[in-house]
Amino acid sequence: MLKIELASRIRDLPPYLFAEIDVLKREARAKGADIIDLSIGDPDLPTPAHIIDALKKAAGDPANHRYPSYEGMPSFRQAVAGWYKTRFGVNLDPETEALSLIGSKEGIGHIPLAFAEKGDVVLYTSPGYPVYPVSALFAGAEGYPLPLTEKNGFRPDFAAIPQDVLKRAKLLFLNYPNNPTAATAGLDFFKSVAVFAARHNIIVCHDAAYSEIYSGDKRPGSFLEAEGGMETGIEFHSLSKTYNMTGWRIGFAVGNRHVLAGLGKIKTNLDSGVFQAVQEAGVAALHTDDSVLAPIRKTYEERRDALYNGLKGIGFEFSARPEATFYLWAKCPRGFDSRAFTRHLLEKAGVLGTPGVGFGAPGEGYIRFALTVPVARIEEAVARIKGAL
């Protein structure tokens, strides 16, 4: 009989947040409940048709059936550079300043392996995407959370980082528009991040997964647009949320060439790139006309208004009405912590949110709702929540 022992790097991990929620949801569904699921950030809208057509065409070409290059096809990296130029006015060399990823989660998970090790610190904002601290841990480094609170406007307070932590810090994960708080940040903030990073020799990894999910005409900026951005870091991007392509697994990293070379070196040793037919579909995606994207943004805006106004109407409190992402970050009513409130809503209303504490300790007291169901279901959710309060 083998004695199977997990390595400490996974044995000591907290359970993956969404796995725990899946169990709760399955139990409720098994009891026959009609659950309105606002818990997972996975768009319910389909991938636009021209992207699917591009995949179909590319899938038939035998040249695409072979191993892709790990760094991405020249045509994909050129499309990325073109998109950055048009969208942000940022010039990128497609050969050295753009790298394809098997979803941005892949790059986020791998980058600490290139730049951090035992004794080093990886700074990350919390509450946040659970992969940031885990990737630090997998690299043998120490994750150090920077709390995002209403008091600090959901921006990290760099002055509060102890000197001994700062001295050992190698990487900083940031994410605006932010999941889960829905906070946004402007170029002034990004510039201050670049100044901080340059002073302390820290590589900035900005996760911009939600830059295209915004309301009205308030388009979020890029870290690379800010003064000092290209010198101090990289930006992770994803086709998942922008083009409803979470299942396709394609994203990219852009920015400082030396940082990308380090990430690339990890990738050459671990993976074999993105299926070329998916990259060709990615090229089609990056050329998507705004006449296709505007209605998607409008859909999220209508859902946001339905949920935000609905919950406000029944006494919920918010720091602000979100201007980007497809999340609402709502305060739990008095008397509930975030896990208790999530369970209460599931049991009494059949509505599933995500407990804020699951994104990190500073998320306690909040619940995240994802706007990934139609307005009619959101209205029903509000009515049911009202009954459960």
Ligand X SMILES: *Cc1c(COP(=O)(O)O)cnc(C)c1O
Say which DSSP state 207 is in: E
The number of residues making up the chain comes to 389
Cα 140 to Cα 136: distance, rounded to the nearest angstrom: 7
Q: Which residues contact 153 (CB under 8 A, 6 or more apart)?
A: 183
Contact 362, 145 (CB under 8 A): yes
Which stretch of DSSP H or E encloses residue 98? strand 98-101
Cα 301 to Cα 296: distance, rounded to the nearest angstrom: 9
Closer residue to ligand X in complex, CB, 176/308 = 176
Q: How far is the CB of 252 from ligand X (least distance, A)?
A: 9
What SS3 state is found at 369? strand
Which residues in 75-134 contact ligand X (CB under 6 A)?
103-105, 129
Closer residue to ligand X in complex, CB, 213/230 = 213
Closer residue to ligand X in complex, CB, 109/350 = 109
Q: How far is the CB of 178 from ligand X (least distance, A)?
A: 8
Residues 206-245: x/- map of binding to ligand X (CB under 6 A)? -x-x----------------------------x-xx----
Residues 151-190: x/- map of binding to ligand X (CB under 6 A)? ------------------------x---x-----------
Q: How far is the CB of 109 from ligand X (least distance, A)?
A: 9
Closer residue to ligand X in complex, CB, 278/349 = 278
Distances (CA, A) of 12 to 91, 161, 185: 43, 25, 34
Q: How far is the CB of 322 from ligand X (least distance, A)?
A: 14
The single residue among 96, 246, 299, 319 that binds ligand X, judged by CB under 6 A, is: 246
Q: How far is the CB of 242 from ligand X (least distance, A)?
A: 10
Closer residue to ligand X in complex, CB, 41/221 = 41
Q: How far is the CB of 344 from ligand X (least distance, A)?
A: 25
How many residues sit in the footprint of ligand X (CB under 6 A)? Answer: 14
Backbone φ and ψ of 145, nearest 5°: -75, 140
Which residues in 5-44 contact ligand X (CB under 6 A)?
41
DSSP codes joined into one string, 130-186: THHHHHHHHTT-EEEEEE--TTTTT---GGGS-HHHHHHEEEEEEESS-TTT-----
Alpha helix ranges (H) inside 169-255? 187-200, 229-232, 239-242
Footprint on this chain of ligand X (rule: CB under 6 A): 41, 103-105, 129, 175, 179, 207, 209, 238, 240-241, 246, 251
